[in-house]
């Protein structure tokens, strides 16, 4: 993000340098990173397997026997 900001003519400051330059914060924009970017956020939401859900399953292992059989995949008979 820093490269894109400086390329567009802006500049990045640490919070203490910003406070020295502009104590009231006039003419400044504070940016934060994406809040929902954590790996744990993938598991929240509608239940996995529900139509329209993009929630990741909590699976013990990624092997052949673990939640890949009938009822989970259309290619294995049917999908519930």
pLDDT at 40: 95
**Own/partner pairs, 57-64, CB within 8 angstroms, 24+ separation:** none
For 17-72, give the DSSP string: HHHHH-TT-TT-------GGGSGGGGG-SSPTTSTT--PPP--S--STTSS-STBT
Q: Are 60 and 67 in contact (CB under 8 A)?
A: no
pLDDT at 80: 77
pLDDT tens, residue by residue, 18-67:
999 999 989 898 888 899 999 999 999 999 888 899 999 899 998 988 88
pLDDT at 27: 87
């Amino acid at each position: 993000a820093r490269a894109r900001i400086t390329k567009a003519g802006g500049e990045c400051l640490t919070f203490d340098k910003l406070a020295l330059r502009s104590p009231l914060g006039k003419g400044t924009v504070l940016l934060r990173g994406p809040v929902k970017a954590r790996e744990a956020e993938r598991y929240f939401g509608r239940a996995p397997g529900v139509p329209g859900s993009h929630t990741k399953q909590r699976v013990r292992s990624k092997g052949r026997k673990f939640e890949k059989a009938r009822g989970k995949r259309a290619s294995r008979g049917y999908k519930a």
